[in-house]
């Protein structure tokens, strides 16, 4: 899961005095996080989080929980894109649509099944030495602009 991790005050102080790469590895954060904390410690003498500018959060923890559950149950719901992307990122989920492909015809399915049945007993060596016909080059795209 790809979620953002916040350091405790104790972890902030340890990171300010120890070797950056060792601390980063131990805490599971990037070295840039440790470098920023060290720079903050040099300039302010502290590594505590300071108030940040920006808009206050619109959603509370209950809203976050509801949104996560809703997003997992209703994959195609129409909602505010940016808020959803932000929250899904926070939960470690991807805000992407599934790949849409043209369904296979019965003939294609039959051909695929036949190929798989013909090659199921092949060894890796047979797959490596088998000559595959060359793929024809793609047609060049015509430019509309000129």
Which stretches of 18-135 are DSSP H helices? 20-27, 31-44, 61-73, 81-91, 106-119, 124-129
> Which residues are CB-neighbours of 95 under 8 A, at least 6 positions away?
84, 85, 88, 89
Which value, in Å, is the radius of gyration of the alpha carbons in the chain? 27
pLDDT tens track for 116-145 = 898 888 888 887 887 766 666 666 555 555
Note the pLDDT tens digit of each residue in 9-55: 777 776 666 677 787 888 888 888 888 888 888 888 887 777 777 77
Mean per-residue pLDDT, 85-113: 82
- pTM for this one? 0.28
């Amino acid at each position: 899961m790809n979620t953002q991790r916040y350091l405790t005050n104790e972890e902030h102080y340890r990171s300010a005095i120890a070797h950056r790469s060792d601390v980063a590895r131990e805490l599971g954060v990037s070295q840039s996080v440790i470098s920023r904390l060290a720079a903050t410690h040099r300039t302010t003498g502290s590594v505590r989080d300071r108030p940040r500018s920006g808009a206050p959060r619109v959603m509370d923890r209950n809203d976050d929980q509801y949104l996560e559950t809703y997003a997992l149950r209703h994959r195609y719901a129409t909602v505010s894109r940016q808020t959803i992307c932000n929250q899904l990122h926070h939960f470690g989920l991807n805000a992407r649509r599934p790949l849409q492909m043209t369904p296979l015809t019965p003939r294609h399915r039959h051909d695929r099944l036949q190929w798989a049945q013909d090659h199921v007993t092949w060894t890796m060596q047979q797959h490596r030495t088998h000559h595959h016909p060359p793929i024809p080059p793609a047609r060049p795209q015509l430019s509309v602009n000129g």
